[in-house]
Structure formats: structure tokens, C-alpha cells
């Protein structure tokens, strides 16, 4: 494998000049740069990332901390950001923190930040759908630009997010327009900011329709919790207490569909169901699920664009900002229909 000295010999220049060229030094004469570029291409030279970092004092590495676990939303945001970062020429170091043990969570956050700073990351992105993650990062002296995927725009943090409230309004309004008035909301964990925003959207729409909101039923985002909730909802549907369900994510909606089918409650003839996220399997549920689609790839690009803007040196031209992530969109399928007479 060719090294920097081989390139210097081929181009007839010093290895310091090769280093200046590969690190983008604008003072190198065009003719010299052309010779070095030709030698790099001929020898298939790949400069050392560590050497470039020492020369430029930039590692082109970003840190990513996630507290959302393997759930579809947080993991999709992680994937979207990682793809956008790599397209921009950055590597991403990832730390995932479980939130099940609150006594060790704050220490875990400090350790994750310390590990990333030890890799000399240029900025840190936090994907923390729960308030514990936001509170924990606030207690740490990050010392780097920090961007959070936080739907409530917490004070003191640079936040980028999708509009959870708007998505919930779309879902609930769809049910109201179909004539439903007894709409129950199956919410996620109350510590999650996204769950609170989706509940707020549902509550505002049913209240505006002149309906007293039914008590919220909470799950833990899993299909199993949806199934347990669905067994109770089936009994309530038989008694005519509910005609529609707005579920805070598609996985819980899957469990509810299972329970309703088991109890022989017809969807959507007796109960309509709307989910949230539009997971790839949602179109193949039985029946196919009406849900709210979110553009996680666009959110990843927006987060990366925000990071780049924070990294621009003072006095340098601003970076071109990515377009804001589009608003959530309602995807109507066969799980919703007119309210029963």
C-alpha cells in the first residue's frame, strides 16, 4: 500500500507538500497540486485519518448518544443521522444508554460523554425521547456543540425534531371527520416527550369537536402492552363505550388488532384504529393500518445540517442548510371507517 513518501517521490515534491494538498491547503500552486493529485490517483493512496486529524486539528468524527433503545422511532432517527453524517464526510461514534435503571443513568450519560470526548469528536448529537436523557445531558459539561432530537425544544438546547403534535392532530381529526366521538387514546410512556405531544394533539382535537376526552390508556410502546390493552378495549367496544382508537405507535396498534381479532371485534366496522410512525410492516397488518408517516431520513439530514452550522468557524461562509423535515403525513388504509350507527 502506497504511503505519503511514495506519493512525494512520484510527484517530485516533499512529503510536507503532499500533506498540504491532501488537507486542502489553498496556498499550494495549481501545477503542484495537479502533480500530487495525479500521483495520489496513480498510486491509489489513501491518507491516514489520524494523520489528517493531527494536521487539521479536526477528526471529522461526531458523537451520537441514544436513550431510545431499539424502538422504531429512535433507531430510525439514528440511522437517518448516521447516513447524513457519512454523506457529509463524517464518521459517527455511537453510545446507546438504557433508561431502565434511573439510579445509574446519570453516571452512564457522563461516561458516554467522556468516552466520546476521548475520541475527540467535534460535536455530539443526543437522541433522547425521554426527559431523563435531556436532564442527564444538561448536568454534563459537554464542551462541544450539542444538538438534541427533542420534540419539546428544551430551553438551553439546540433542538431539531419532527412535529409530533401536528401528526396527532391529523390522526385524530381523521377519526372525527369519519363521525367518531368516542375516541380513546392509547399513549406511550408519560416520560417520553413524543408521547406527551401526541396526547396533546389528540386532546385538543376531541375537545374542539365538543367531546369530553376519554381517560388515556398507557402502554410501553410494545405489541405485548397493546395486546393487553386491546383485551380491555374489546370489552368496552362491545358495550359501545368506544368506536375508535388513536394509538401512539404502530407496534402497540398491532397488539390491539390482535386482541380485537381474538375477541371477534371487527375493524373498522366496530372499531377504527389509527397508529403512528408508519413502520414498514404497517401496510401488511390485518387489516392494513391507517397511520401517521414521519420522514426520519429528512430529520437526519436536518440534524446533520444543524451540526455543520454550529461547526463553521467564525467569519467563514455559512453552510447550506438542509430543508426542514416535512410535516408528518396521514396514510389512510383499511383500519379506519365511518363510525357505526
- What is the homologous superfamily of the domain 4-56 according to CATH? lambda repressor-like DNA-binding domains (1.10.260.40)
**CATH domain 164-294 topology:** Rossmann fold (3.40.50)
Q: What is the pLDDT of residue 104?
A: 79
Which superfamily is assigned to 61-161 in CATH?
Response regulator (3.40.50.2300)
pLDDT for the residue 316: 63
pLDDT value of residue 22: 80
Give start-end residues of each CATH 3.40.50.2300 domain in the chain. Answer: 61-161, 164-294
> How far is residue 211's CA from residue 223's CA, in Å, rounded to a whole number?
29
d(CA 186, CA 221): 10
Please give the pLDDT value at position 303: 93
Q: What is the pLDDT of residue 194?
A: 93
Bridge partners, 149 (sequence order): 127
Yes or no: say if 123 and 65 are a contact pair by the CB < 8 Å rule.
Answer: no
Contact indicator for 266, 205 with CB cutoff of 8 Å: no
**pLDDT tens per residue, range 50-62:** 445 444 457 789 9
Residue ranges of the chain that CATH labels 1.10.260.40: 4-56
Burial of 24 (0-12, 13-18, 19+ CB in 10 A): exposed
The structure's pTM equals: 0.80
- CA-wise closest residue to 152 among 169, 139, 135: 135
Question: Residue 50's pLDDT is what?
Answer: 46
| Contact between residue 336 and residue 274 where contact means Cβ atoms under 8 Å apart | yes
| DSSP strand pairing (124-127 vs 146-149) | parallel
From first to last of its 341 residues, what are the pLDDT tens digits of the chain?
Answer: 678 888 899 999 988 888 788 877 778 899 999 999 999 988 888 765 544 544 445 778 999 999 877 889 889 999 999 999 999 899 999 998 876 666 678 888 999 999 999 899 999 999 988 888 888 888 888 889 999 988 776 677 888 989 999 999 999 999 999 999 999 999 999 989 999 999 999 999 999 999 999 999 999 999 999 999 999 999 999 999 999 999 999 999 999 999 999 999 999 999 999 999 999 999 999 999 999 999 998 999 999 999 999 998 766 666 666 677 889 999 999 999 999 98
Amino acid at each position: 500500500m502506497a504511503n505519503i513518501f511514495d506519493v512525494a517521490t512520484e510527484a517530485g515534491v516533499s512529503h510536507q507538500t503532499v500533506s498540504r494538498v491532501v488537507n486542502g491547503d489553498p496556498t499550494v500552486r495549481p501545477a503542484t497540486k495537479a502533480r500530487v493529485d495525479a500521483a495520489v490517483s496513480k498510486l491509489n493512496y489513501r491518507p491516514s485519518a489520524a494523520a489528517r486529524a493531527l494536521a487539521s486539528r479536526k477528526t471529522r468524527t461526531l458523537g451520537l448518544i441514544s436513550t431510545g433503545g431499539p424502538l422504531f422511532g429512535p433507531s430510525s432517527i439514528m440511522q437517518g443521522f448516521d447516513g447524513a453524517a457519512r454523506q457529509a464526510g463524517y464518521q459517527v461514534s455511537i453510545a446507546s444508554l438504557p433508561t431502565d435503571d434511573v439510579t445509574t443513568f446519570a453516571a452512564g450519560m457522563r461516561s458516554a460523554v467522556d468516552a466520546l470526548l476521548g475520541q475527540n469528536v467535534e460535536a455530539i448529537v443526543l437522541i433522547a425521547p425521554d426527559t431523563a436523557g435531556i436532564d442527564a445531558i444538561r448536568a454534563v459539561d459537554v464542551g462541544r456543540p450539542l444538538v438534541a432530537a427533542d420534540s419539546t425544544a428544551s430551553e438551553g438546547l439546540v433542538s431539531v425534531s419532527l412535529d409530533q403534535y401536528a401528526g396527532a392532530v391529523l390522526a385524530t381529526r381523521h377519526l372525527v371527520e369519519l363521525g367518531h366521538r368516542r375516541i380513546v387514546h392509547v399513549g406511550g410512556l408519560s416520560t417520553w416527550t413524543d408521547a406527551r405531544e401526541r396526547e396533546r394533539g389528540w386532546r385538543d382535537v376531541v375537545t374542539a369537536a365538543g367531546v369530553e376526552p376519554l381517560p388515556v390508556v398507557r402502554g410501553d410502546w410494545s405489541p405485548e402492552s397493546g395486546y393487553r390493552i386491546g383485551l380491555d378495549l374489546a370489552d368496552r367496544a362491545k358495550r359501545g363505550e368506544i368506536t375508535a382508537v388513536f394509538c401512539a405507535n404502530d407496534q402497540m396498534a398491532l397488539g390491539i388488532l390482535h386482541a380485537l381479532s381474538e375477541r371477534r371485534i371487527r375493524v373498522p366496522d366496530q372499531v377504527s384504529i389509527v397508529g403512528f410512525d408508519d413502520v414498514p410492516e404497517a401496510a401488511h397488518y390485518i387489516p392494513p393500518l391507517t397511520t401517521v408517516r414521519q420522514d426520519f431520513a429528512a430529520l437526519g439530514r436536518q440534524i446533520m445540517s444543524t451540526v455543520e452550522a454550529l461547526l463553521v468557524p467564525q467569519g467563514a461562509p455559512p453552510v447550506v442548510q438542509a430543508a426542514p423535515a416535512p410535516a408528518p403525513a396521514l396514510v389512510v388504509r383499511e383500519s379506519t371507517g365511518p363510525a357505526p350507527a
